[in-house]
Amino acid sequence: MAELVLRATMAKNRQCVSMRLILLLSCIDKPGLVSRLSSFIYEHGGNIHSLDEYVDIADDRFFIRVEWGVEAERVSLSDLSKKFAPLAREINAEWVLRDKGKKLRAAIFVSRYDHCLREILWRYEAGELAIEIPLIISNHNDLSYIADQHSIPFHVFAMTHETKPKQEKKELELLSSHNIDVIILARYMQVLSAEFVGHYCRQIINIHHSFLPAFIGGNPYKQAHERGVKIIGATSHYVTTDLDEGPIIEQDIARISHRETRQDLIRKGRYVERLVLARAIEAHCNHRVLVSGSKTIVFN
C-alpha cells in the first residue's frame, strides 16, 4: 500500500508543471516595497528564485526584478497579472509580468554588413538567445544567402525617399502577421520613421558603431580616425525618434593607437559591435532591462 501511495505521489508531482515568471517594476521609493511584493508572490503560491533591486537616490525611484516559480495549474499569467494590478496601482508602479519560458519572436533587419547577423544566428542556433527568428528583413538582397543557409525567410524592401512610407507600411504588416515582439537592427543602414518606431516602443534594439554619445550619425570610424582617438567602441540602444539617442543597453570599447588606419578601426570595431549587440539582445530577451527616462537599469 505504501508503495502505491508513493507511486501516486510521484506521478502527481510529475504532472505539476512549474511556470517561471519575471516581474520588472519601478515606482517612487518608499518603505516596505520588497516586503509587499514578496508577500504577494508567497500568497499566490510562488517561490522566489532570484531578486535584484536598485534605488536611484537622486530620483528617489525604486527598481526591481523578481524571478519566481509557481505551479502552472494553480494560476495563469493572465490571472496573476489581474490580481497584481490593484497593488501596482496603489504604489503607482510601471510594471510588466513575463513568462520566462516564452521566447520572444524577433525580426532581424540588415543591409549589407554581415558580421552582426552572423553573430546573432550563431548564438541563436547554439541556444544562447531566448528568441525565435521567423524572418529577416533587408533593403538589399546581398545577405539572402546567409538566411538561406539557416532556413530563415528573407524579405527585401528596397527603400528610396519616395517609397519609404509605403515600404515601411508593408514591413509593419509583415511583422504583425508574424507576431513579432522585438526588432533587432543588425547594422540596418536606414533611419526608421517616427510612425514605425511608435509601433514598437522600447522594442527596437540598434547597434551603433561608436561609443555614444561620441560620433553620432554616419561614418563614426572616419570621425574617430580624424580626431585621433585612443579608444573606439560600440553602443547598443533602444531606438527612439531622436537619432542615436535612445536609452543605452550595452557598450564596450577597444584600444587603438596612432599606427592604426581607418580600416584597422573598422576591423576592431566590428568585433566589438558583434559582442555588444549580442549582450544587449540577451539582456532584453531575458527581461533584465528597465527603462527610466533616457537611461536604463540593466540587472545582472
Active site residues: 244
Q: What percent of the residues of the chain are helix, what percent strand, and what percent coil, each to the nearest 5?
A: 35, 30, 35
Tell me the CA end-to-end span of the chain in Å, nearest whole number. Answer: 49
User: Grid cell 530577451 — which residue?
Assistant: 285
Catalogue the E-assigned strands of the chain.
18-28, 47-56, 61-71, 94-99, 104-110, 131-138, 154-156, 182-185, 204-208, 231-238, 248-255, 289-292, 295-298
Residue-by-residue DSSP string for 163-190:
THHHHHHHHHHHHHHTT--EEEESS--S
Specify whether the CB–CB gap between 84 and 37 falls below 8 A: no
CA distance 281 to 4: 49
List of residues 6+ apart from 197 with CB closer than 8 A: 204, 239, 240, 241
CA distance 143 to 147: 7
Going by C-alpha positions, the residue among 257, 248, 239 that lies closest to residue 210 is 248
Specify whether the CB–CB gap between 202 and 104 falls below 8 A: no
DSSP 32: T
Cell triple for 277: 549587440
Query: 97-124: string of b/e by CB count within 10 Å (b at 16+)?
Result: bbebeeebbbbbbbbebbbbbbbbbebb
